[in-house]
Amino acid sequence: MADIVVDAAVFAELRAATGTEFAAELVTTFLEEAPGMLADLRSAHAKRDAERFRRAAHSLKSNASTFGAVTLASLARALELAGPAADAAAAITSLDALEAEYKRAATALKDIAHG
């Protein structure tokens, strides 16, 4: 994993475009909604619901990109493109990696937005 969890330059651009307070609100909303997206990914994978799986992965990717969480965005993009893979073990490993990176990104986003 990359050492940079959140690209400060990307977050600074967001803050400049939206204002400090609104950027912090966006982070708060993302942190409230992302666990549901992660759960939706797992559920969609278990049910082999490719469309729901891709939508959840796409939403995570888009949000992560907006905030500069580059590794999180990359992992979500890989899942979006792969869909609920035929190799269940590989998909579970990828979902586990995504959740671990989300935790790192959530901590970093809280710090940069509210710190």
Q: What is the pTM of this model?
A: 0.92
Whole-number Å distance between alpha carbons of 2 and 96: 17
Per-residue pLDDT of the chain (115 residues; tens, 9 = 90+): 447 899 999 999 999 999 999 999 999 999 999 999 999 999 999 999 999 999 999 999 999 999 999 999 999 999 999 887 767 788 889 999 999 999 999 999 999 998 7
Identify the pLDDT of residue 36. 96
Beta carbons of 98 and 79 less than 8 angstroms apart: yes
Cα–Cα distances in angstroms (integers) from residue 29 to residues 63, 78, 85, 111, 115, in the given order: 10, 24, 29, 15, 16
CB 72 within 8 A of CB 98: yes
For position 1, what pLDDT does the model report?
43
